[in-house]
Structure 1
Amino acid sequence: MTRGTGRGPSPAAPRSVDVAQLAGVSQKTVSRVFNDEPYVSADVRRRVLAAAEQLGYRRNNAARALVSGRTRSIGVVTLGTALYGPASLLMGVERVVRDLGYALRVVNTMEGDPSGIAGAVDSLLDQGVDGIVISEPIDEGDGEGEGATLRVDVPVLVLGAPPPFTAPTVLTAGGRADLMACRATQHLLDLGHATVHHLAGPQRWYAARDRLEGWQATLRAQGRTVPPVVEGDWSAASGYRAGRELADDGDLTAVFAANDDMAIGLIRALAESGRRVPQDISVVGFDDIPVAAYVSPPLTTVRQPFESVAQEGLKRLVHAIESPEAEPLPLSDPPVDLVIRASTAPPPDPEDPGSASHYTVLPLPAAGPGRPS
C-alpha cells in the first residue's frame, strides 16, 4: 500500500519533449545530444544539458535499447580479491566506463569456482551487455573438456593474458608485466649485482608468469645464473616465509619480488636474520602500493599504469561496440615507470673488511602469536 502525502498527485516525469521546449530546440536535437551524435554545436549541447538538469530529466535507457539494439552497458569479469593490482585496475575501469557514458556490470569470480570465467561471461550476456572486459584472468585448468572455449557474441577486451574464447572482436590492453619485470631486474644488474633472485607470485596467475618470464629473460640475455624460484601467494606473510628461506644464502645480494606486499614481508624476515636492506641485499617490488614509500627502507618498485591501461583499453572497446565495421584503434605500449627508493644499492664488496658483506646471520625467531609463520 502506498502512503499518501496529502499534497495531491505527483507530477509526471519530464520527457524529452519538455527538454526540447525549454532548450528551444527540436526533440530530434535532444536525441542527438544524448546519443553523442555529431553536428550539434557546443552552445546547443550546453542548452540541452542545462535544460535536462533543470527538469531532472533522465533518459529511458530501456526504450533506447529497443531502438538501438544496445544497452550502453559494459560487463567486467574480475577475480574477487582485495589485492591492490586487480582492485586498482577495476577502479580505473569503472571510472572510464562511466566517463564514456556507459553503465557498468561487474561479476566477480573466485579461485576454485567451478563455473569461473565462463559462468561470469554467461551472466553478463544474459544482462544484454554491449561488450565485456576480462580483467586479470587466472589459469582455470588445462583447457580440456566441454565448454573450454568461450563463445561470446559481443566485443571483448582482455586486460592480461586471455583464456581461450572466440568473439567478433578481441582486443587487448595491459601493462606488459614482462617488460616491467625486465626493467626491475636490469636495474639490479646495473647496480653491479651478479644475479637476481625472484620471489614469484602464484603461477596460476598469468601476471605472475609474465613477471617470472621477464626476470628469466633478462638474466639469460646477459649470461647470468638463473637462481631457483621461490613462489609466494601475493601476501606479506608468504614474503616473510620466503625471507626465512632465503636468509641463509650467503651469495644472495638482490631479490625482485612479484609484488610489493611480498617484498615487504621479505624485508622484515631479512632484517630479523641480520641481513640489512640495501647494505647486504637489495629488494625491488612491483605495483607501487601506497605504503611502499613509507616502509623502512622505502621500497624501490615498478609502478603499474592502471589508469592509462583502463583508459586506452575501454576507448578501444567502445570504438568496437559503436563502429563494428571500422578498424580497431591502435594500441600503444604503456610507460614502464621504475620508482627508485632506498631499498636498492650496489652489492657489498667482499674485498673490503668493512663491507656490509661481512654480516652475522641471526637465528630467526620462531613463529608465534603476533608473528608471521
Structure 2
Amino acid sequence: MADVARLAGVSGQTVSRVANGNTRVTAETRNKVEAAMRQLGYRANVAARALATGKFATIGVVTFNLTAVGNIRIVESVIAGAQASGYSVSLAVVDTPTEQDVRAAVRGLTDRAVDGVIVIEARVLDTPHLQLPEEVPVVIADSRSTHEHPTFGMDEAAGARAAVGHLLELGHRTVHHVAGPPGSNPAERRRAAWKRMLQRAGRPVPQPVVGDWSPESGYQAARQLLSDETTTAVFAANDQMAAGVLRAAEELARRVPEDLSVVGYDDLDITPYFSPPLTTVRQDLGAVGSRCLDHLLAMIETPAGAPPAPAASRLVHPELVVRSSTAPPRR
C-alpha cells in the first residue's frame, strides 16, 4: 500500500479509501491510485481487512431446493444485489430441512467467515426447536413472520384470492383446485385462501386434488377433475401443473377457455406461449430477495448497541396477469 501511495503521489489513507470503495475520493485521484495498483500488481489483503474491520464482505445463503423456480429467483436476486454492494455470496444447499441439517449448514457458513445469513424457503420455520447461531444476523425468506428473525416473503394468500376472485367474477359457480404438495408452506397458504374465498362467496368447496408441482401431476389431477362435466374453472397452485391441466383438457376435448377456464401461479417465462396463453399470478420474487438482502446489510452495518434498522414492508404483493385461458362460462 505504501508503494502504491508513493507511485500515485497520494497518502496511504487515500489508497486505503480507494481499495475499500470509499466514495470520498475524486475521480482524478481514484484513477491515479488504480493505475498505480495495476502497475504494481497490488491487491487488497482480504484477511488483513477482515481482521482490521471485523467484516468479511461475504453473505451466506441457505436454501433447500435449487430446482424450485421461486428459490432460484430469490438466490439470483441476492447474488446480484450482494455483488453490487461489494459482497460475495457463499451458498449452502440442504437436502432435508431437519433441525440438525439446517443448524449444520448455518454453522458451516459462519465457520467460513460470513457477515450474515439469509435462509430461503419456509420449511426452516417448521423446525420448532431450531436455534440458529447468534453471532451473525439472520434474515429469513418466508411469507410467515417470526419473532426471532426478520422475515420477508410473498403474500401467497393475496395471490390465491386474486386468482379465485377473477374466476368467480367471470361467473363460474365454483373453482376447482390443483393443490401443491403437503408440507409446502406456499401450497398450504394458497389452498387455504382458495377455500376461504369460496366459503365467503357462499359457493361449493370442491375436494382439492393434490399434485407435486410437476406438469404430470397437474395432468393426472385434471383427468380426475374433468371427468365431472360441470367443472368449468380450475386454479392450479403453479404454472407447471397448469400446463398439465391444459394438456388434459385438450385430450378430453374440453376447449380452453370456452369450456374450461384455467389459472396458474408464478408467471413463468413460458406462460405467455402456452396454448392458449395462461392467466396466472405473477410473483416478484426478486423483490423478496432484495428486501432480505437490504435488511441484512442494514443489520450488518448497524453499530453495536444501536437500534436496528426499520424493516421494509414484510410482504410483497403479487399481481394477477389475465391472458386468454379464462373467460365467462358458457350458459
Q: Does TM-score exceed 0.5, indicating one fold?
A: yes
Please give the alpha-carbon distance, in whole angstroms, between the structure 2 residues aligned to 1:277 and 1:52.
Answer: 64
Q: Structure 2 vs 1, CA of residues 23 and 312 (structure 1 numbering), >3 Å: closer, same or farther?
A: farther
Please give the alpha-carbon distance, in whole angstroms, between the structure 1 residues aligned to 2:67 and 2:221.
Answer: 22
Question: Which residue is equivalent to 2:168?
Answer: 189
1:286 pairs with 265, 277, 287, which one?
Answer: 265
Cα contact 2:159–2:317 (8 A) shared by 1: no
Greater relative contact order (CA < 8 Å, ≥ 6 in sequence): 2
1:31-84 CA deviation, whole Å, 9 max, x = no partner? 234434464445545554565456554322111111111211111011133122
Please state how far the C-alpha of 1:305 moved relative to its aligned partner: 0.8
Q: Structure 2 vs 1, CA of residues 68 and 222 (structure 1 numbering), >3 Å: closer, same or farther?
A: same
Match status 1:158 vs 2:127: no
Report the number of matched residues: 328
Aligned counterparts, 1:14-33, within 5 A: 16-33=1-18
Match status 1:98 vs 2:83: yes
Cα contact 1:282–1:344 (8 A) shared by 2: yes
Q: Structure 2 vs 1, CA of residues 54 and 269 (structure 1 numbering), >3 Å: closer, same or farther?
A: farther
Q: Structure 2 vs 1, CA of residues 72 and 112 (structure 1 numbering), >3 Å: closer, same or farther?
A: closer
Match status 1:319 vs 2:298: yes
Please give the alpha-carbon distance, in whole angstroms, between the structure 1 residues aligned to 2:88 and 2:261.
Answer: 45
Question: Which residue is equivalent to 2:246?
Answer: 267
Match status 1:71 vs 2:52: no
Question: Which residue is equivalent to 1:331?
Answer: 312
Q: Structure 2 vs 1, CA of residues 315 and 25 (structure 1 numbering), >3 Å: closer, same or farther?
A: farther
Aligned counterparts, 1:211-290, within 5 A: 211-290=190-269
The TM-score with structure 2 as length reference comes to 0.89
Please state how far the C-alpha of 1:217 moved relative to its aligned partner: 3.0
Cα contact 2:158–2:317 (8 A) shared by 1: no
- Which structure features the higher share of helix residues? 2
Secondary structure, counterpart of 2:108 in structure 1? helix
Please give the alpha-carbon distance, in whole angstroms, between the structure 2 residues aligned to 1:204 and 1:163.
Answer: 17
Question: Which residue is equivalent to 1:122?
Answer: 107
Please state how far the C-alpha of 1:330 moved relative to its aligned partner: 3.5
Cα contact 2:64–2:97 (8 A) shared by 1: no
Q: Structure 2 vs 1, CA of residues 157 and 23 (structure 1 numbering), >3 Å: closer, same or farther?
A: farther
Q: Structure 2 vs 1, CA of residues 63 and 197 (structure 1 numbering), >3 Å: closer, same or farther?
A: same
1:75-106 CA deviation, whole Å, 9 max, x = no partner? 10111331222112211211111111111010
Q: Structure 2 vs 1, CA of residues 322 and 303 (structure 1 numbering), >3 Å: closer, same or farther?
A: same
Question: Which residue is equivalent to 1:107?
Answer: 92
Please give the alpha-carbon distance, in whole angstroms, between the structure 1 residues aligned to 2:104 and 2:184.
Answer: 19
- Write the letter of the residue equivalent to 1:76: V
Please state how far the C-alpha of 1:19 moved relative to its aligned partner: 4.0
Percent identity over the alignment is 43
Question: Which residue is equivalent to 2:118?
Answer: 133
Secondary structure, counterpart of 2:265 in structure 1? strand
Please give the alpha-carbon distance, in whole angstroms, between the structure 1 residues aligned to 2:34 and 2:206.
Answer: 61
Q: CA RMSD in A?
A: 2.6
Please give the alpha-carbon distance, in whole angstroms, between the structure 2 residues aligned to 1:233 and 1:61.
Answer: 45
Cα contact 1:282–1:345 (8 A) shared by 2: yes
Match status 1:89 vs 2:74: yes
Q: Structure 2 vs 1, CA of residues 142 and 329 (structure 1 numbering), >3 Å: closer, same or farther?
A: closer
Please give the alpha-carbon distance, in whole angstroms, between the structure 2 residues aligned to 1:97 and 1:34.
Answer: 18
Please give the alpha-carbon distance, in whole angstroms, between the structure 2 residues aligned to 1:55 and 1:298.
Answer: 58
Cα contact 1:155–1:320 (8 A) shared by 2: yes
Please give the alpha-carbon distance, in whole angstroms, between the structure 2 residues aligned to 1:299 and 1:59.
Answer: 51
Aligned counterparts, 1:159-178, within 5 A: 159-161=141-143, 166=148, 170-178=149-157
Q: Structure 2 vs 1, CA of residues 37 and 226 (structure 1 numbering), >3 Å: closer, same or farther?
A: farther
Match status 1:344 vs 2:323: no
Please state how far the C-alpha of 1:178 moved relative to its aligned partner: 1.6
Match status 1:58 vs 2:43: yes
The TM-score with structure 1 as length reference comes to 0.79
Secondary structure, counterpart of 1:286 in structure 2? coil
Secondary structure, counterpart of 2:316 in structure 1? coil
Please give the alpha-carbon distance, in whole angstroms, between the structure 2 residues aligned to 1:270 and 1:92.
Answer: 36
Cα contact 2:97–2:124 (8 A) shared by 1: no
